[in-house]
Homo-oligomer: A and B are copies of this chain.
């Protein structure tokens, strides 16, 4: 996993500006999702769960973990191809594994494949103790004209 052939062309600030302008739904329930880092082939996000993200007992809800994996996977693709906002999820497979410790959770999306038409991303969600909370693999369809969207 150490080596990756991919190089990002958008920074943390670029991705956050993209969300503000083109993907405000991410902040629909408050500013809880943050871009933590962008590296070659990978992007990490952080979520501070609020009451609405939890199930009784303090488990982070399935829809919250799904959303985090999906947004993070989308971000790592855009970080490497530019703001091609018409990129869409075609498949997402998620395994729920351990209850998160109270506090923030983190999602790292890693590019497994970045093709012209399809991208495949692996997303691992962990808590502050590095316990794996959930793990997803997702496929995205990239619109044909995407090259035009990258300056």
Binding site for B on A (CB under 8 A): 1, 3, 25, 28, 52, 55, 61-63, 66-67, 70, 88-98, 112-113, 117-118, 120, 122, 124, 130, 132, 135, 137, 139, 141
Please report the C-alpha to C-alpha distance between residue A80 and residue B130 in the assembled complex, in whole angstroms: 20
**Distance A117 CA – B141 CA, assembled complex (angstroms):** 10
Cα(A63)–Cα(B88), bound, Å: 13
Contacts of A55 in B (CB 8 A): 25
Q: Is the CB of A113 within 8 A of B97?
A: yes
Copies of this chain held together in the complex: 4
Selected A-B contacts with CB under 8 Å, 20 pairs: A1-B1, A1-B124, A3-B130, A25-B55, A25-B61, A63-B67, A63-B70, A66-B92, A88-B96, A90-B95, A91-B93, A91-B95, A91-B96, A95-B112, A95-B113, A95-B139, A112-B132, A113-B132, A122-B122, A137-B137
Query: By the criterion CB–CB under 8 Å, are A95 and B120 in contact?
Result: yes
CB-defined contacts of A118 to chain B, threshold 8 Å: 90, 141
Please determine whether B90 and A139 come into contact, CB atoms closer than 8 angstroms. Answer: yes
Residues of B within 8 Å of A67, CB to CB, are 62-63, 66
